[in-house]
Structure 1
């Protein structure tokens, strides 16, 4: 089981970050596919996931291709162009054309598609996040989050969870929509854990969480975002020189330590502002600003609008 590094017993950075983005999952239904078949998704407004219940298929993005086999689970962030097909060289129709003659997928839906050959069954669903604009997790997710059902180490939770989801989708008993959505939440979190366990040679925020030194620093930052952090203090916490710490942090996380802290404080502020009973002055103090004025300037610099405007529900411009 993955544990983040650090001295603060009981504090879990991943749990805190997941709570801030308000994960909402939806299982749309099941694909019953027979070769040859292929579909192309040029852009999805929401992250998608596919779980292979039987057979296999080829998933390709502009950057990589991988073979999915029975028991595999893959997460694909929003906006990524990709294709699914039974084999290399099979023509992939736009998914809109596939749906056009078969109707839209709804929770519990079933889509039959293909030429009558070798069969494959996929579960398909999507994720939605609220408050994700400044989340370090979603900014640094890999293009493909692939969990292998027969991977090393074995994942005893994956197959029974997928089968439970599939049985609920098929049975469509009262409350099945809620059950499969919660199970999809579990799949996403377990996929993150599996990625953290397997990414020993990869950089990124998830890798940083389990780095012995940088993970310890991230844990303390997330535990106390309001603390007066300095580069020297963070380096001391990591038992590294300032130069080596700054280089290591940037290599893993993708930005400088103090820039990360500023971004995380603004993300936390956006989460805190969901509470209508919390004043902006209280929010400012909770994320490390002595005055509401200094907080407001920092918030506008990162989000592109004032805290008051954001609180009124106005959609922000592109996050910087």
Structure 2
């Protein structure tokens, strides 16, 4: 059941967070690091000094002591002492960022100008709710917001002590603490997020929230607009209009994207037959999945399994994106 007071738990539950790696950055003059997209959540907590973050689209922001930067889906970015600094590739600095690893990274030249704690958290991408994918590439929790939280400052302090003192089992403790920091940081960020953002509107609307969870947790069901409107406690017309306004797309489009994301993961990671995959995600036949998959991704399920087509780029301008079924028809 959707609980508007605990919406974040619903959002994170299918991700199955698990620690990936932790690195303690010692910062000197002229330091700069570039990271390419990673299939994990990333965090930067600056302890001393300042840092400029530049995203792939050119947007920049500045971190001050105590700030926490969150990249929910591991977006590409440059983080540096100054915006004009020449960055080093993180893959060369830390080539083996394996789950459970911890590293100390010395950057720049003497004298030391700051320090920062960083982490990557792996999660089950197949479990991503479409709503999670609407999070911005970068969320920043400022130091004053962290201090106002009754839990997060203590967790950050414990992490700093563990890494500074390197006690027994520090590696395991640091990874678990960063999982908490990620969840608590997201909670702080969502509180201050622009209320016009799709995720903010959806999390704040109990009726639409109930529908989203029902769709996500039973996405193979033969849903109709009538079914979903009943869960929301709204008329069909009111529900359809409200859903599109809040989520940004029709119920049919939203459910279809979730089904196809799950199908894509099964195709890439299992040897299940396409017929079995089609039925497991809510399609009555392999033909239906084939057509929907080609519309969404530009390739067939069979082509995706070929080694030369392993990497696909999703198409957001699908011809079916703005369509929706009649009130009693399955989605």
Global fold match (TM > 0.5): yes
Spell out, residue by residue over 1:258-286, the C-alpha distance to the aligned partner (whole angstroms, 9 max, x if none): 11100111223345568858654443333
Q: C-alpha separation between the residues in 1 aligned to 2:24 and 2:8?
A: 36
**Which range moves more in the overlay, 244-253 or 288-297?**
244-253
Cα distance change, pair 57–317 in 1 and its aligned pair in 2 (3 A): closer
Cα distance change, pair 157–279 in 1 and its aligned pair in 2 (3 A): farther
- For 1:198, the equivalent position in structure 2 comes to 192
Cα distance change, pair 78–177 in 1 and its aligned pair in 2 (3 A): same
Q: C-alpha separation between the residues in 2 aligned to 1:245 and 1:177?
A: 49
The residue matched to 1:317 in structure 2 has which SS?
A: coil
Q: What runs of 5+ residues in structure 2 fail to find an aligned partner? A: 316-331
Cα distance change, pair 302–194 in 1 and its aligned pair in 2 (3 A): same
Alpha-carbon shift at residue 114 of structure 1 (Å): 5.7
- For 2:12, the equivalent position in structure 1 comes to 15
- For 2:87, the equivalent position in structure 1 comes to 95
Alpha-carbon shift at residue 80 of structure 1 (Å): 4.3
Q: Is the 8 A contact 2:21 2:119 kept in 1?
A: yes
Q: Does 1:65 align with 2:61?
A: yes
Q: Is the 8 A contact 1:37 1:91 kept in 2?
A: no
Q: Does 1:290 align with 2:287?
A: no
Q: C-alpha separation between the residues in 1 aligned to 2:76 and 2:176?
A: 24
Q: How many residues align?
A: 303
The residue matched to 1:205 in structure 2 has which SS?
A: helix
RMSD value, Cα: 4.1
TM-score (norm 1): 0.73
- For 1:74, the equivalent position in structure 2 comes to 69
For residues 245-284 of structure 1, the aligned pairs below 5 Å read: 245-271=239-265, 280-284=274-278
Q: What runs of 5+ residues in structure 1 fail to find an aligned partner? A: none
Alpha-carbon shift at residue 169 of structure 1 (Å): 3.5
Alpha-carbon shift at residue 27 of structure 1 (Å): 1.5
Q: C-alpha separation between the residues in 1 aligned to 2:18 and 2:129?
A: 12
Quick check: which one's helix share is greater?
A: 2
Cα distance change, pair 108–207 in 1 and its aligned pair in 2 (3 A): farther
For residues 224-243 of structure 1, the aligned pairs below 5 Å read: 224-243=218-237
Q: Is the 8 A contact 1:134 1:266 kept in 2?
A: no
Cα distance change, pair 241–193 in 1 and its aligned pair in 2 (3 A): same
Spell out, residue by residue over 1:88-130, the C-alpha distance to the aligned partner (whole angstroms, 9 max, x if none): xx56312218999xx658732132546648x532112334556
- For 1:211, the equivalent position in structure 2 comes to 205
